[in-house]
Amino acid sequence: MRGVRLLLLLLVGLASLCGAFYLPGLAPVSFCEPPQPGQEGSKDCKSQIELFVNRLDSVESVLPYEYDAFDFCQDATEKRPSENLGQVLFGERIASSPYKFTFNKPETCKKVCMKSYNPENAKDVNKLAFLKKGMQLNYQHHWIIDNMPVTWCYDVEDGQKYCNPGFPIGCFVTAAGRVKDACVMSADFNKKNTFYLFNHVDITIMYHSGKDENWPGARLVAARLEPRSFKHTEKNDLICDGLPMEIPAAFSEKLDVIYTYSVKFVENNSIKWASRWDYILESMPHTNIQWFSIMNSLVIVLFLSGMVAMILLRTLHKDIARYNQMDSSEDAQEEFGWKLVHGDVFRPPRKGMLLSVFLGQGTQIFIMTFITLFFACLGCLSPANRGALMTCAVVLWVLLGTPAGYVSARMYKTFRGEKWKTNVLLTALLCPGVVFADFFIMNLILWVKGSSAAIPFGTLAAILAMWFGISVPLTFIGAYFGFKEKPIEHPVRTNQIPRQIPEQSFFTKPFPGIIMGGILPFGCIFIQLFFILNSIWSHQMYYMFGFLFLVFIILLITCSEATVLLCYFHLCAEDYHWWWRSFLTSSFTAVYLFVYAVHYFFSKLQITGTASTILYFGYTMIMVLIFFLFTGTIGFFACFWFVSKIYSVVKVD
When pLDDT is cut at 50, 70 and 90, the band that residue 272 belongs to is confident
CA atoms within 13 A on the CB side of 311: 18
- Tell me the mean pLDDT in the region 293-320: 75
Distance CA 439, CA 453 (A): 12
Residue 269 gets the label, from left (phi > 0), alpha (psi -120 to 50) or beta, of: alpha
Question: Of the ranges 235-244, 371-380, 459-468, which one carries the lowest mean pLDDT score?
Answer: 235-244
CB 216 within 8 A of CB 30: yes
Mean pLDDT value of segment 301-307: 79
pLDDT tens, 487-519? 888 887 777 776 666 676 766 677 888 888 888
What pLDDT does residue 4 have? 39
Across residues 51-58, what is the average pLDDT?
A: 92
Q: Residue 124: is its pLDDT beyond 60? A: yes
Q: Give the angle subtended at the CA of 414 by the CAs of 413 and 420, to the nearest 5°.
A: 15
Single-letter code of the amino acid located at 572: C
Compute the distance between CA of residue 650 and CA of residue 647 in angstroms, rounded to an integer.
5
DSSP string, 13-62: HHHHHHHHS--TTTS--EE-PPPPTTPPPPTTEE-EEEEEE--EEETTEE
- Round to whole Å and give the CA distance between 510 and 517: 11
pLDDT at res. 21: 37
Quote the pTM value.
Answer: 0.84
Looking at residue 306, its amino acid is: G
Q: Is the dihedral of CA 465, 466, 470, 471 positive or negative?
A: negative
Q: How far apart are CA 130 and CA 324, in angstroms?
A: 78
The residue that leads in pLDDT, 308 or 554, is: 554
Mean pLDDT throughout 469-487? Answer: 93
Question: Is pLDDT at 15 greater than 50 in this prediction?
Answer: no
Confidence at residue 179, expressed as pLDDT on a 0 to 100 scale: 86
CA distances from 75 to 53, 56, 96, 141, 149 (A): 10, 17, 7, 16, 19
Average pLDDT, the chain: 84
Q: What are phi and psi of 208, to 5 degrees?
A: -105, 115
Q: Which residue has the higher pLDDT, 412 or 341?
A: 412
Query: Strand order of the sheet with strand 167-168?
Result: 61-65, 56-58, 140-141, 167-168
In contact, 308 and 564? CB cutoff 8 Å: yes
Distances in Å between the alpha carbon of 201 and those of 77, 110, 152, 189? 22, 10, 10, 17
Give yes or no for residue 9 having a pLDDT over 60: no
Residues 519-537 have pLDDT tens digits of 888 988 888 888 888 888 8
294-315 average pLDDT score: 77
Distance CA 599, CA 104 (A): 50
Q: Compute the distance between CA of residue 436 and CA of residue 101 in angstroms, rounded to an integer.
A: 44
What is the spatial distance between Cα 95 and Cα 208, in angstroms, rounded to a whole number?
Answer: 26
pLDDT tops 70 at residue 188? yes
pLDDT score recorded for residue 41? 60
Residue 5 makes CB contacts below 8 A (sequence gap 6+) with none
Whether pLDDT at 141 is above 90: yes
% of the chain surpassing 90 pLDDT: 39
Cα 181 to the center of its chain, rounded Å? 26
Which of 112-116, 244-248, 284-288 has the lowest average pLDDT?
Answer: 284-288
> Is residue 490 classed as helix, strand or coil in its secondary structure?
coil
To the nearest 10 degrees (0 to 180), the angle between helices 457-466 and 388-399 is 40
- Distance in angstroms (rounded) separating the CA atoms of residues 363 and 651: 33
The C-alpha atoms of residue 4 and residue 264 are separated, in whole angstroms, by 56
Write out the E strands in 156-270: 161-164, 167-168, 170-173, 194-197, 200-209, 218-228, 246-248, 255-267
pLDDT the model gives residue 133: 92
Q: What is the pLDDT of residues 355-365, one digit of tens each?
A: 999 999 999 99
Report the alpha-carbon distance of residue 378 to residue 367 in Å, rounded.
17
| CA-to-CA dists, residue 528 to 125, 291, 505, 546, 607, angstroms | 45, 10, 36, 12, 22
Structural contact between residues 214 and 203, judged by C-beta atoms closer than 8 angstroms: no
Distance CA 322, CA 650 (A): 10
